[in-house]
Structure 1
Amino acid sequence: MIPAVVICDDSNLARKQMARCLPDSWQSRIQFAAHGAEALQLIKSGTVDLLFLDLNMPVLDGYQVLAALKEMQSSIKVIVVSGDVQPEAYERVMKLGAADFVKKPVDVNKISALLDTVAAEHQAEAKGSMPPKPALTQRIEVDAELRDVFQEITNVAMGQAGDLLARLLNVFVKLPIPNVNLIEVSELHMALASVEDESSTSAVCQGFIGGGVSGEALLILTDSSFKDVARLMNYHGKLTHQVELELLMDIANILIGSVLKGLSEQLDMGFSQGHPVVLGQHAAVSELIKANAGRWRKTLAIEISYGIENYDIMCDLLLLFTEDSVKTLKNKVAFLLED
């Protein structure tokens, strides 16, 4: 008997990719959920045998879904599929009852091996046949598709960067849902939703180019973060202007380098990085952007806000793609979405 499957991910691209990994004979038994609350509703309204679950989602994230299923004493087999590959993320989901953990991008061979086990277990447990459930469909406009794809590939890339940071500092990195918007430079400060206007910040910028795509990565660190950053990096001396600059550069090198590497691998294009440039220190983010507005025009902006659990550390990483790059990126998106 074919198991009833729910694929829960806030990315349309990720849902499609996951569905393609499943056997053709399973397709009529697949349902989709865009966030955890939708997944729980599907579970409560009908029989579900297998749940593929993302972690970073709006409304209800993967951790909350696992906790709810545990409270319900559900027997549903849950396989977490996430770009957050930190060791602690793995430990948390397994403690909450996940059957396995698959990192993004999905390894088809890994999924095939898991499905063999799932199918065998389901066959042994099956008592009778259930009628197939129709798959849900979702109609998305071109701009929405572009946003969805870049949220998903950024989700994977930021997960890799978060994992590197977590391992280096021995911490748990809180990963957000990336924000993707095509904006004017005058609106750039509005994209930095997590940086308060009154916060004093320091920022560094690094250009990148490759395969018809170019842009700049902008990392903004709130000044209140420096004390804890220094502690985590085992620096116990006086926090001078120069020391703070070195700490800012260290964080920028880790996050910018690893995020661009993750994006280049998924887009199949190499990025060359320029020398980092300090945009300013100890200033409001609006002042930093105003002083450097000439660097950008209309831009595709992807914002990632990193935080570290139990520490007063918050930094924003913005990937600012030039307007001319959008056509190339759309072509890449069309390729990724091909059936």
Structure 2
Amino acid sequence: MTKTNVLICDDSAFARKQMARAVPDGWEVDIHFAVNGMNAIEQIHQGNGDVMFLDLNMPVMDGYQTMEIIRKEDLPCLVIVVSGDVQPEARQRMLAKGALDFIRKPIDNDKLSTLLKQYGIYTGDSAATQRTLQAAISPASETEMFDAFREVVNVAMGRAGENLARLLNEFIDLPIPNVNVIENNELHMAIAEINRNESVSAVSKGFVSAGIHGEALVLFNDTEFASIIELLNYHQLSAAPAQLEALMDISNIIIGACLNGLSEQLNVTFSHSSPIILGRNRELESILTTTRQRWSRIVAVEVCFAIKHKGVNFDLLLLFPEKSMERIYSRLVGTEG
């Protein structure tokens, strides 16, 4: 029997392994990997991509650009998008470019098998177990932990992007999360997208569960409040109450959806503190002063949600003490119950 060449295209090694494990054992395949769209196009030209599982947010060449080339060159590849970005418009864009279907991360193995059968790609026993990879999971290097950490945040921010898109009726551009371990006096460096000469407003919320704890901050550039109020249709409020309402509503959407996305993947339930307004119309440095005193070394994850044509950005900063990242990784790879 001729094997199907399956190509898994994702910039995250952790995500590629997860996807490979989700491929049914009963499906006769040779699995190949690509780290970005450019690499994937090369592999398809080499005959390694009868079926491709394609991520959206990648460096060098993203999923949208990759799909455009596949369509333009009429390449013989069936594409199923696998992404944390589950906005309706993201799905519509990719289906319009010729993708077969669009499924969300993390992968539901049973749903994947059903989908493959639906399109006649896989006809094996529905009870077939998922394939296992022999690669050792531990001990993990810092690079492997960072990669897994970035991927779990990528999925969580996709949930937040979807909720924002529905609230604002706009497409939200999602980046690849920026993850760094920093000393407490370097926290300001984790927010590269914010002009430090402009005043910002910020909301903070703490969270804890199963030995994992952290703080989520949403930061707004104050010059963008007029556009945000317009998007939310808060014109009936006077300026100061409208800004405050926008600040709290957007923050609750972003932080709540991200923490729910993390909870689902880690199988934990976070207890949340009440949201705190750290500052209004203040310099970034003065806002961060109170936050950075708590831990000596911090894992800082920066995500910038953007509505490009409106010139609007919402910066989310997730802060964890270093030991929390080790616990998160242990839960992700199943070495901690």
**TM superposition score normalised by structure 2:** 0.89
- What's 1:288 paired with? 287
Counterparts of residues 121-136 of structure 1 (less than 5 Å): none
CA contact (8 A) 1:86 1:166 kept: yes
Is the deviation greater in 162-171 or in 233-242?
A: 233-242
Decide whether aligned partners of structure 1 residues 146 and 108 sit closer, same or farther in structure 2, where only a CA change above 3 A counts: same
State the distance in 1 between where 2:234 and 2:164 align. Answer: 16
2:309 aligned counterpart, secondary structure: coil
Decide whether aligned partners of structure 1 residues 285 and 74 sit closer, same or farther in structure 2, where only a CA change above 3 A counts: same
1:275 shift after superposition: 1.2
- What's 2:76 paired with? 75
- What's 2:242 paired with? 243
Q: RMSD value over aligned CA atoms? A: 2.6
1:157 shift after superposition: 0.8
User: Which amino acid letter does the alignment assign opposite residue 112 of structure 2?
Assistant: I
- What's 2:12 paired with? 11
Counterparts of residues 236-275 of structure 1 (less than 5 Å): 236-237=235-236, 240-275=239-274
Given the alignment of the two structures, is residue 198 of structure 1 paired with residue 197 of structure 2, yes or no? yes
CA contact (8 A) 2:235 2:242 kept: no
Given the alignment of the two structures, is residue 35 of structure 1 paired with residue 36 of structure 2, yes or no? yes
State the distance in 1 between where 2:260 and 2:325 align. Answer: 19
User: Which amino acid letter does the alignment assign opposite residue 104 of structure 1?
Assistant: K
- What's 2:126 paired with? none
1:45 shift after superposition: 2.8
Decide whether aligned partners of structure 1 residues 299 and 121 sit closer, same or farther in structure 2, where only a CA change above 3 A counts: closer
Decide whether aligned partners of structure 1 residues 109 and 307 sit closer, same or farther in structure 2, where only a CA change above 3 A counts: same
Q: Deviations for 1:179-237, whole angstroms, at most 9, x for unmatched residues?
A: 11211122211111211222321111111111111111011111122111111111114
2:112 aligned counterpart, secondary structure: helix
- What's 2:154 paired with? 155
State the distance in 1 between where 2:335 and 2:304 align. Answer: 26
Is the deviation greater in 185-194 or in 40-49?
A: 40-49
CA contact (8 A) 1:19 1:27 kept: no
**TM superposition score normalised by structure 1:** 0.88
Counterparts of residues 151-230 of structure 1 (less than 5 Å): 151-230=150-229
Decide whether aligned partners of structure 1 residues 116 and 287 sit closer, same or farther in structure 2, where only a CA change above 3 A counts: same
1:265 shift after superposition: 0.9
CA contact (8 A) 1:305 1:314 kept: yes
- What's 1:127 paired with? none
CA contact (8 A) 1:171 1:309 kept: no
Instruction: Name stretches of at least 5 consecutive residues in structure 2 with no aligned partner.
Output: 124-132
State the distance in 2 between where 1:336 and 1:14 align. Answer: 17
CA contact (8 A) 1:218 1:319 kept: yes
Decide whether aligned partners of structure 1 residues 62 and 336 sit closer, same or farther in structure 2, where only a CA change above 3 A counts: farther
